[in-house]
Amino acid sequence: MMRSARRLALFLVVVAAGAPADARERKEGPEPRYPASFRQAIGEAIERGVARLRALQAPEGHWGNPEDVHGVGHTALPMLALLKAGVPPDDEAVVRAREAIATMKVTSVYSTGCWMMALHALYAPHLDGMDTDVGEDRSSRSDPDAIHARLTEADRKELEKGLAYLLKAQNARGLWLYHIPEVATSRAFDLSNTQYAILGLRAAADCGLDVPVDAWRSALQGLLDIQDLDGEPTKLQRREVRDGYVFSDSEKAKARPFRYKDDRADGPLGEKTVPTQIASGSMTTAGVACVAMCMEGLWRSRRFSGRDRKRAQAAIRDGLAWLQENFSVTENPGREAAHHRYYLYGLERMGMLVGMRWIGGHDWYEEGARWWLDTQGPLEGGWGNHVRTAFGILFLKRATLRAVAVTK
């Protein structure tokens, strides 16, 4: 069983000796705090979003179409948002959601990942979205051993069933598509399904279940293989809060995004070297977040080679560099209006996992939160349907725990 936790360093350390002058760390000043009025507005927006989800829930307890192939996910995602917002597990809306899911079959990777996250949220601490800042270690609030000891037999079996499904659905490339592959040698995947599968694996690990090392390792290898091979040279601007002060430096990087799939055509550099899918913010945040979670899983196992660690750190650095160069909260970079809110929830997950308050010069949470505040429905209090409203709550709540390393 897992016994102790410490923070996972996700970035390359710039060594002062021999480092370029412009990469040396600089102390900027005291950490800027979010104003009280902003914090209050966030709290009120979350409350209104919760009320909207309650209003959208069907009398039978589900959201969306329970007959849909992702029916469980359509109910598990709002349930997750309610729990992360601080709604207690014995609340009527949560109880009815669980009863509705009990009547459905979990038949997709999306649904499995969402359901496992919701199960973990039943036992994880409910954090005040503003009680700590992004870079602070919120991980100590969630002890996998303690959660495992509190699991009911029914919830433990559900998590074990979900974990078994995700492991069976992992393909020969180490990644995932919508369902269990029909052929064991299948290498078909998409990064969106892969993201929710890895979120499910993390939920299982956070509940004290043993996720095989090979699952993390093969997923990491697959992720490293699908990131763009090259990118425009740039410098990743980094700002970190320590002891109440902001420190900044920069590091050479290449802006290398992730894409939904890695379909490639022949080009000047050889066969299959030119990506044909669009690079996007939603997929780059997904790729960086997935690499971070795989790093965490491997670090927990204490079987994380130095070579793999360096490659993973470079993947995170270069993915962040692409996001820095293409940053936006008013659209999904590369895809404009398409999957915009999905991207913002992905931005929250990535930012929290790697413990970054700033991407370049952008405070991603403050800028994103102000967009959610400005676009919240003035009367109904949500952001459209149950999926978009859940995304809004999860972003504003900063619902994702920072990645940690756990030693046995």
What is the total count of domains within the chain? Answer: 1
Q: Which residue has tokens 């420190």?
A: 247
pTM: 0.91
- Give the range of the structural domain holding residue 121, as residue numbers without chain letter: 4-9+32-407
CA–CA separation, 341 and 357 (whole Å): 19
CATH of residue 135's domain is: 1.50.10.20
Q: Is 308 helix (H, G, I), strand (E, B) or coil?
A: helix
CA–CA separation, 135 and 11 (whole Å): 13
- How far separated are the first and last CA of the chain, in Å rounded? 7
Please name the amino acid found at residue 389.
Answer: T
Q: Which residue has tokens 């069983």?
A: 1
Nearest Cα residue to 355 out of 4, 10, 6 = 10
Distances (CA, A) of 177 to 11, 109, 168, 276: 29, 7, 11, 19
Q: State the CB neighbour count (10 A cutoff) for residue 344.
A: 26
Q: Is residue 16 part of a domain?
A: no
H-run or E-run covering 111: helix 109-123
Q: Is residue 392 part of a domain?
A: yes
Q: Is residue 27 part of a domain?
A: no
Q: Is residue 286 part of a domain?
A: yes
User: Which residues lie below 8 Å from residue 84, measured CB to CB, with a gap of 6+?
Assistant: 121, 126, 393, 394, 397, 399
Our CA angle for 169, 170, 173, nearest 5°, is 140
Q: Is residue 248 part of a domain?
A: yes
Nearest Cα residue to 304 out of 217, 224, 219 = 217
Q: What is the pLDDT along the chain (408 residues), one digit of tens a residue?
A: 443 344 444 443 332 333 343 567 888 888 888 999 999 999 999 999 999 999 999 999 999 999 999 999 999 999 999 999 999 999 999 999 999 999 999 999 999 999 999 999 999 987 665 655 555 555 556 789 999 999 999 999 999 999 999 999 999 999 999 999 987 788 899 999 999 999 999 999 999 999 999 999 999 999 999 999 999 999 999 988 888 889 999 999 999 999 999 887 777 777 777 778 899 999 999 999 999 999 999 998 888 888 899 999 999 999 999 999 999 999 999 988 899 999 999 999 999 999 899 999 999 999 999 999 999 999 899 999 999 999 999 999 999 988 874 322
Q: Is residue 362 part of a domain?
A: yes
Q: Is residue 143 part of a domain?
A: yes
Q: Provide DSSP, 12-43.
A: ----STT--GGGS-EEEEEPPPPPHHHHHHHH
Q: Is residue 14 part of a domain?
A: no
